[in-house]
Amino acid sequence: MSDFLASVERRAFKHALFAVRDEEAALDLVQDAMMRLAEKYADKPPGELPLLFQRILRNAVTDHFRRQKVRNLWTTLLSSVFPDNDDGSERDPLDSVEPELGSTAAESAADEVERIQVMTAIETEIKRLPPRQREAFLMRYWEDMDVAETAAAMGCSEGSVKTHCSRATHTLALALKARGITL
């Protein structure tokens, strides 16, 4: 179980980050999903863990949006009772944590900057995809799941997964080509 969770941690964070667009919330969602998997499915064979984890994470993202909708309603209703701080924001220590980029020892500074710029452009374009296309694309090409596993995790047909992935890759290719990026 620990090996599986360690292997999926970074990809799950990126997946959640693309969905909720908030680093703190994405970290919480991934942690909650990992806890649920460990608590409820520790006895399952390792082959079943990827699909179970994807389903748990997807449900956690859906629950996050449901809770956020209710919170926003109450925040709006109570905003007149409890005014904002003078500066209107709070400092979050997680905002100052830089993600680990991996080993760049053999890479020149120019290559590293170029790689970071390309990855940023790709991530930006992935964020712009419609939710179902983004979900299918990330599961197929980021999580390396096959069509059947992706369809089971998304709760749709294999044909839908293929359609979503095809549209996503076509859209990404056009967007990256427009930015002058060729892969």
What are the sequence ranges of the domains in the chain?
A: 1-82, 108-183
* Across 46-70, average pLDDT: 88
Tokens of 177: 């080509």
Write the Ramachandran bin of 100: left for phi over 0, alpha for psi from -120 to 50, otherwise beta: beta
Kindly tell me if the per-residue pLDDT of 70 is higher than 80: no
What does the pLDDT read at residue 135? 92
Burial class (CB in 10 A: 0-12, 13-18, 19+), 88: exposed
Helix (H) / strand (E) containing 9: helix 2-20
**114 pLDDT tier (thresholds 50, 70, 90):** confident
CATH code given to domain 108-183: 1.10.10.10
Predicted confidence (pLDDT) per residue in 118-143, tens digit = 888 888 988 999 999 999 998 998 88
Fold designation for 1-82: Rna Polymerase Sigma Factor; Chain: A (1.10.1740)
The DSSP code sequence of 12-37 is HHHHHHHHH--HHHHHHHHHHHHHHH
Residues 71-77: contacts with CB under 8 Å, at least 24 apart: none
* The pLDDT of residue 21 is above 90: no
Is the confidence at residue 82, as pLDDT, over 80? no
Residue 92 binned pLDDT confidence (cut-offs 50, 70, 90)? very low
Q: Kindly tell me the sign of the dihedral angle through the C-alpha atoms of 157, 158, 159, 165.
A: positive
Q: Determine the average pLDDT of the residues in 90-96.
A: 47
- Quick check: 57 and 17 in contact, CB under 8 A? no
Ranges 61-75, 89-103, 127-141: which has the least confidence: 89-103
Residue type, 1: M
